[in-house]
Amino acid sequence: MIFAKVIGTIVSTQKDEKLKGKKLLLCKEVDHEGKPLKSYHVAVDAVQAGEGNFVLLSYGSSARMTETTKDAPIDAVVIAIIDDVQILHTVKS
């Protein structure tokens, strides 16, 4: 799973039949503190996420296992909206 922040939406009038009616979100990977990393992802929204939400993305073949994305040609899906992150120990680098 990938920790990300929703930074926008993707509008596409022409797309594969199995993507019609699905909301596409532009997500930016973030670290555990919410600081942006380098990677962006376009993900199908399966949980009614919105701009500014921190989310979990499922990637690859696992992304096609939700009711929303079954048999659709996608690589990433938003599977959870994150309410809180609790870190119990400090990891030394």
pTM over 0.75: yes
- Domains in the chain (CATH in brackets) are 2-81 (2.40.50.220)
Confidence (pLDDT) at 87: 84
Task: Return d(Cα 31, Cα 18) in angstroms, integer.
Answer: 32
Confidence (pLDDT) at 5: 98
Confidence (pLDDT) at 88: 84
